[in-house]
Amino acid sequence: MSTCCAKPPREPTTGALLKIALAGNPNSGKTTIFNALTGMRQHVGNYPGVTVEKKTGRCRLSNGWADVIDLPGTYSLISRSPDELVAMEVLRGLRSDTPPPDVVVAVVDASNLQRNLYLLSQLVELGRPMVIALNMMDIAARHGVYASPEALEREIGVPVAPIVGHRREGIDELKTAIERARVAPMPQWQLPQAMQEEITVVGGGLGILLAHPEGISRSPLPESRHRADPRTPERYRAIAERLIVGDRAADLSDIAAHEPVASLLNSAMNRMQALGIDPMQADIEAHYRWIETVTRRSEANVDELAAMGTPAPDVLAQQPAISPGRSRNWTERIDSIFVHKFWGLIVFAAIMGSLFVALFWAAKPIMEAMGEAVKWLGGVSTSRLPEGPIKALLNDGIFAGVGAVIVFIPQIALLFMFLAILEDSGYLARAAFLMDRLLSKVGLHGKSFIPLLSSFACAIPGILATRTIDDRKDRLATILVAPFMSCSARLPVYTLLIGTFFASSGALAQAGIMLGLYVTGIAAAAGTAWVFKRSLLKGRPAAFIMEMPTYKLPQASQVGRHVWVNTKEFIVRAGTTIFCLSVLLWVLAYYPRLPAGDVGKYATHSQLDAAQVGHSFAGKLGRAMEPVIRPLGYDWKMGVGLVGAFAAREVFVSTLGIIYSVGEGNDHVTDLSAAMRADRVNGHAVWSPLVAISLLVWFVLAFQCMSTFVVVRRETRSWRWPIFMLIYMNTLAYVVSLAVFQVGSWILRA
């Protein structure tokens, strides 16, 4: 195992460390290599000014420590989406908040060499020291293809390390390669002769002008932008070529803006136009001619190796002998079902249905054990305390409030595990392709599927994931409907209500109800998107193009890391946000106390408890809301829960736990489900299955998360859109919940 994964006794804090950037196509295994290099020494945040995730870590090399940054996946350095823009800016050294990389590690998928070499050809043009991490050697071998690291190193001119990232094979060799990284020689692109002459003329002019920047600009170009970029005639030609083909990255735009450079470019463009040469098309064709040459000289299949009498490399010997044709047939056979316009939907529904059954069946014993543990811990912690506010706070506020949410951790961990397995196996891309057929009918882009699916875990990363959508209107439409996806914060509410009022129906029926809630959210998202794309955000979605990753067994360590990181975030939130809100809600439900003279007016203890809660600040707030929410079937206790849910949806559960615990006046944490079923007013049950359904519909459709509100404001850079979402989603939730309860009541009376 790589020594990079063992936690060191001490890490340096100096900023003078080697800066390494990992760059590669999506699905190339870049993040797996990043995890193998950095282990647990990782930090995740956002780049200042944008919502693109910034993942950095620290890795130990033989000659010291290095800072590693995992750049967003991109197919090209000619940026379109925010993700691609950030990757390009970091690689070119254009971000003031991120140092330019000393070494670029180009992660290349050995099983899809030709596709990955286009980005590599652009990385070569940057003129930075580089190494190639030739990843997925095992998958290439299963496809009957061998990508020779030695041949690729000869062709590109930089060190190449063969990697099997998910098994951490080759990581030590990659670290050794990083220490001997070097600048790749510029390829000789096969461009039209006239275009080459113009590049030579413009490059020569740039050599003179940029060597004396004070002659063309009052302030020279920042030195950091050209770090590790030696100013040679070859590099000036590379800059000239990028300018001529229309690459207007920030640093190139600065150069092209100067009058002498602009004059050179205009003259060159006019001459090529007169000759009928399209510089960008010619450049792309030249790059792909070079790619075809490199691929032909670097790849061989198993049969070719055998015919040449060349021994099969170890990586091929370790894999089952599968010819390229047979491999393609297996992929086609699987995809003929998984992406079929009918059977694919059946498979997708079966997968989602299996999840919801597992959420009730597999997690139920663990949840029950955790619930008993919370009740036991609450009783033990408060058994020796005298009666009074302190004991009530611990018992009714903290253990009843936070504990009511903590018990749902097994279900939330299962949900995150499910999503991680889908992504790591390669099925997620197929589901996106499948959903594009449906999304396009309501005006959404196929790329909207990944953000919408991510929103099932949490709307915040789902909304942030819309940065991969190029068109602003498509991106905004996805943001406006993403909160309809039932996030993990709704899961405690769903489970509480379904488990309390539909437990007798069995796990399969409960799973069906849960699936129906998710389908309702999807239908609401589709319907509103259809309206928005024909009114506020009118326009046709662009064509959807997505590379299908190779099918593979999910990596246990990757899945485990994903589950741990996301579940830990939920636990931290329960230990901070929900804890603080539980204390606040307990104070509102406990104070003010009934006057001593009024205590004797109540015949039973339960009447006294109900009067005490009703007399509290929370009771008064709920009573004030009750006329508005009563038509939906809700009483004042539910109203207080809905107010708390605007901070975080799962707070609804902790709020009910506190209100019912405060009202019980006992010495142990109340069983919330039992308390809800036993709640009576004038002999009539406060809760019923119909009330539960109305509440479930409310939570599916309502916009109740302040964190999401803030993220939408930051993403759209306007208060108008989050306020619009708050109004239209909650209005829709109210109207539909009202219809459900009133129509349901009419049917029950009939």
Is the pLDDT confidence value at 549 over 70? no
The domains of the chain are located at: 3-183, 196-275, 347-396+406-539+556-561, 584-749
pLDDT score for 68: 93
Mean pLDDT of 181-206: 84
Q: Quick one: average pLDDT of 492-499?
A: 89
Q: pLDDT band for position 229 (50/70/90)?
A: very low
Q: Which residues pair with 135 in a beta bridge?
A: 109
What confidence category does residue 228 fall into, taking pLDDT thresholds of 50, 70 and 90? very low
pLDDT at 323: 45
Q: Which helix (H) or strand (E) holds 81?
A: none
pLDDT(46) > 60: no
Q: How far is CA 417 from the centre of its chain?
A: 14
The average confidence (pLDDT) of the chain is: 77
Q: Identify the residue whose tokens are 């936690």.
A: 7
Indicate the CATH number of 3-183 among 2.60.120.20, 3.40.30.10, 3.40.50.300, 1.10.3720.10: 3.40.50.300
pLDDT at 36 over 90: no
| pLDDT tens readout for residues 108-145 | 998 888 888 989 998 998 889 999 999 988 888 777 77
Q: Helix, strand or coil for residue 547?
A: coil
Rounded to an integer, the average pLDDT of 144-153 is 85
pLDDT of residue 605: 62
The arithmetic mean of pLDDT across residues 363-379, rounded, is 79
pLDDT category at 571 given cuts 50, 70, 90 is confident
Q: What is the pLDDT of residue 104?
A: 95
Name the helix (H) or strand (E) containing 606. helix 605-615
Smallest Cα–Cα separation from 245: which of 274, 268, 226, 229?
268
Length of the chain counted residue by residue: 750
pLDDT at 6 over 70: no
- Say what the pLDDT of residue 223 is: 36
Supply the pLDDT for residue 217.
Answer: 44
Q: What's the whole-number mean pLDDT along residues 89-103?
A: 83
Q: Percent of the chain scored above 70 by pLDDT?
A: 78
Res 423 pLDDT > 80: no
Backbone angles phi, psi at 147, to 5 degrees: -95, 115
Q: Which residues of 42-53 are buried (b: 16+ CB within 10 A; e: fewer)?
A: beeeebeebbbb
User: In terms of DSSP H, where are the helices of 299-408?
Assistant: 302-307, 314-317, 324-338, 343-361, 364-382, 389-392, 400-406
- pLDDT value of residue 364: 73
Distance of CA 431 to the CA centre of its chain: 16
Query: What band does 159 get if pLDDT is binned at 50, 70 and 90?
Result: very high
What value does the mean pLDDT take over residues 620-638?
A: 89
How distant is the alpha carbon of residue 717 from its chain centre? 20
Taking Cα atoms as reference points, which of 451, 354, 303, 389 lies closest to residue 590?
A: 389
DSSP H helical ranges for 576-688? 577-590, 605-615, 617-629, 636-645, 651-664, 672-678
Strands (E), 572-656: none
Of 341, 347, 538, residue with least CA distance to 437 = 341
User: Is the model more confident about 203 or about 15?
Assistant: 203
pLDDT at 174: 94
DSSP classification of residue 164: B
pLDDT tens for 321-355 read 444 444 445 667 788 888 887 888 888 888 877 77
CA torsion, ordered 266, 269, 270, 273, to nearest 10 deg: -160
In this predicted structure, the answer to whether residue 91 has a pLDDT above a threshold of 60 is yes
pLDDT of residue 360: 64
Give the model's pLDDT for residue 689: 93
CA–centroid distance for 606 within its chain: 48
Give every CB contact of residue 56 below 8 A, 6+ residues apart in sequence. Answer: 42, 43, 67, 68, 69, 70
How far does Cα 50 stand from its chain's mean position?
15
